[in-house]
């Protein structure tokens, strides 16, 4: 919603909004932009002078006085996906989709088009460090790239010319019945591509490759571009290396060039390859060359990429402990992210505090979650973060703990944040890497421990 507000403002609209009382990093962005934000959803902030109301799925007429008033006044009302979809129809657009990796891929696209000075704008689902901690890049209106979400098939409001598919596997069990159901959503998004549209997909992800094959059967006229170690063609990854402080790779379309990243993990290499493939297609559609000078700019854009809020976000170092925060909340993302940390920061001890997101996801993928932490030296588990979607479930965080300790030699259950902080104060040592992980709000633990050690350093 913050990114959408920024795009509306830059298009010349007067924008204001309302939200709950909880502070979030987007509050600082909106303040910097001069966009008024009213606190409290019970109070009324709009009247008949407004032309349109856009709202997120977190609010309804039952919990927002503004939405109830908008309905009474018969004002035009759009959900966030509908408003984003309308933007996608104003110019050729690329939808960044997938169960994992879409935020980072969209942010990498933004870093590339910024470095290459293209007339392209990008909307990201998180703030990007190299975009001055903004969620958007507004380079022009000849092409639009946006992160799109599969939950409740929200992305079917989007009208893409290009579709990036990073991964497909079972997720959001509170909405999707099974793998076939979630896969069908991505196929439906591909059906929205024009006949001369392009599908860019990860050949290394079994679900994405399978989905791409089904799309090819339905839409043989679509251009398909695979990327990854298993890919055929221009975006095959080879000579990749992930070790202490190094994350580099080569691509078959320019085999002598070494691409470098500052962030750990093979998943970043895959996301970077996806972004490069997307930019190459956009350049072609804009009738611009992907020549040597452009490739030099692209390489500089990749090496400058510093990640996003809550995606391998470096909080700081205090008391000899490096603190990081990561949004990974699906077993596959947890496993690959932790493996990347272990390789990149070896020989640091890797300690992770994980808060599972939603009861239904934790229950459906319980075995996968319990097996996802093998790269960590010490695991601390919190209670389940219910989110606005669910208030209770059939299992608890202790259920996940009991299953995880069958597979991991050093796992602890600290349901409340205060419990976790008190325990971790006795565990953390100089030379450790401490990561808070998950889509809940346990990043508070890392921030509090970082400030605690920082105060001790200065006392």
The per-residue pLDDT for 449 is 97
- Domain segments of the chain as ranges: 2-75, 83-304, 313-458
Q: Provide the residue-wise pLDDT of the chain in tens; the chain has 459 residues.
A: 999 999 999 889 999 999 888 888 889 899 999 999 998 888 889 899 999 999 998 888 998 999 999 999 999 999 999 999 999 999 999 999 999 889 999 999 999 999 999 999 999 988 787 788 888 999 999 999 999 998 889 999 999 999 999 999 888 878 788 999 999 999 999 999 999 999 999 999 999 999 999 999 999 999 999 999 999 999 999 999 877 777 899 999 999 999 999 887 888 899 999 999 999 999 999 999 999 999 999 999 999 888 777 777 889 999 999 999 998 888 988 998 899 888 888 889 999 999 998 898 899 899 999 999 999 999 999 999 877 666 677 889 999 999 999 999 999 999 999 999 999 999 999 999 999 999 888 999 999 999 999 998 877
Tokens read off for 326 = 């990561």
- 32 phi/psi in degrees, rounded to 5: -65, -35
Half-sphere exposure of 359 (CA within 13 A, CB side): 11
Instruction: Classify domain 83-304 by CATH number.
Output: 3.40.1190.10
Please tell me the distance from the alpha carbon of residue 93 to that of residue 72, in angstroms, as a whole number: 34
For residue 389, the model assigns a pLDDT of 66
Strand pairing of 120-128 and 134-138? antiparallel
* CA–CA dist 27, 36 (Å, integer): 10
The dihedral formed by the CA atoms of 390, 208, 191 and 236, expressed in degrees to the nearest 10: 140
Helix (H) or strand (E) holding 45: none
98 contacts 260 by C-beta, under 8 angstroms: no
CATH code that applies to domain 313-458: 3.90.190.20
Give the model's pLDDT for residue 144.
97
The predicted pLDDT at position 275 comes to 97
Collapsed DSSP state (helix, strand, coil) of residue 162: strand
The CA distance from 328 to 389, in Å, is 18
* Closest by CA position to 368, among listed 412, 325, 333: 333
Closest by alpha carbon to 286, among 91, 86, 73?
91
- Note the pLDDT of residue 172: 82
Token couple for 11: 């298009």
DSSP helix/strand/coil, 437: strand
Integer Cα distance of 250 and 237 in angstroms: 6
Q: State the pairing for strand pair 246-251/237-243.
A: antiparallel
Question: Fold match between 83-304 and 313-458?
Answer: no
Cβ atoms 143, 94 nearer than 8 A: yes
Which residues lie closer than 8 Å to 397 by C-beta, 6 or more apart? 355, 356, 381, 382, 383, 384, 413, 415
Phi, psi torsion values for 148, nearest 5 degrees? -125, 150
Looking at the DSSP bridge assignments, the partners of residue 238 are 250
Half-sphere exposure of 425 (CA within 13 A, CB side): 14
Query: Counting beta carbons within 10 angstroms of the beta carbon of residue 12, is it exposed (0 to 12), middle (13 to 18) or buried (19 or more)?
Result: exposed
């Amino acid at each position: 919603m913050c990114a959408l507000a920024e795009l509306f403002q830059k298009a010349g609209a007067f924008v204001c909004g309302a939200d709950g009382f909880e502070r979030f990093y987007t509050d600082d962005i909106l303040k910097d932009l001069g966009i008024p934000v009213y606190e409290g959803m019970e109070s009324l902030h709009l009247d008949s002078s407004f032309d349109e109301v856009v709202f997120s799925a977190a609010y309804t007429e039952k919990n927002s006085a503004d939405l109830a008033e908008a309905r009474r006044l018969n004002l035009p009302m759009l959900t966030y996906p509908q408003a984003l979809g309308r933007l996608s129809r104003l110019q050729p657009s690329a939808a960044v989709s997938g169960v994992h990796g879409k935020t980072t891929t969209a942010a990498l696209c933004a870093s590339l088009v910024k470095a290459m000075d293209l007339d392209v704008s990008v909307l990201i689902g998180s703030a990007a460090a190299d975009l001055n901690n903004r969620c958007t890049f507004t380079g022009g209106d000849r092409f639009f790239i946006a992160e799109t979400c599969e939950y409740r098939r929200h992305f079917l409001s989007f009208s893409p010319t290009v579709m990036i598919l990073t991964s497909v596997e079972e997720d959001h069990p509170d909405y999707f019945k099974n793998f076939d159901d979630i896969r069908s959503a991505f196929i439906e998004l591909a059906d929205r591509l024009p006949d001369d549209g392009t599908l860019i997909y990860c050949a290394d992800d079994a679900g994405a490759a399978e989905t791409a094959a089904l799309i090819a059967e339905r839409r043989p006229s679509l251009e398909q571009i695979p990327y990854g170690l298993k890919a055929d063609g221009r975006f095959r990854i080879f000579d990749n290396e992930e070790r202490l402080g190094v994350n580099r790779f080569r691509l078959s379309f320019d085999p002598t060039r070494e691409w470098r990243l500052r962030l750990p993990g093979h998943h970043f290499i895959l996301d970077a390859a996806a972004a490069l493939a997307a930019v190459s297609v956009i350049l072609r559609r804009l009738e611009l060359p992907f020549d040597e000078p452009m490739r030099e700019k692209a390489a500089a854009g990749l090496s400058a990429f510093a990640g996003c809020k809550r995606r391998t976000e470096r909080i700081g170092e205090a008391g000899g402990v490096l603190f990081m925060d990561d949004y990974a909340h699906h077993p596959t993302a947890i496993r690959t992210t932790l493996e990347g940390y272990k390789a990149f920061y070896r020989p640091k001890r890797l300690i992770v505090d994980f808060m599972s997101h939603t009861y239904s996801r934790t229950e459906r993928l319980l075995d996968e979650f319990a097996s996802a932490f093998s790269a960590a030296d010490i695991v601390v588990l919190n209670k389940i973060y219910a989110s606005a979607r669910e208030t209770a479930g059939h299992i608890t965080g202790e259920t996940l703990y009991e299953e995880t300790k069958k597979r991991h030699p050093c796992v602890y259950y600290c349901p409340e944040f205060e419990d976790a902080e008190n325990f971790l104060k006795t565990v953390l040592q100089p030379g450790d890497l401490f990561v808070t992980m998950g889509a809940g709000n346990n990043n508070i633990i890392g921030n509090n421990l970082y400030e605690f050690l920082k105060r001790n350093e200065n006392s």
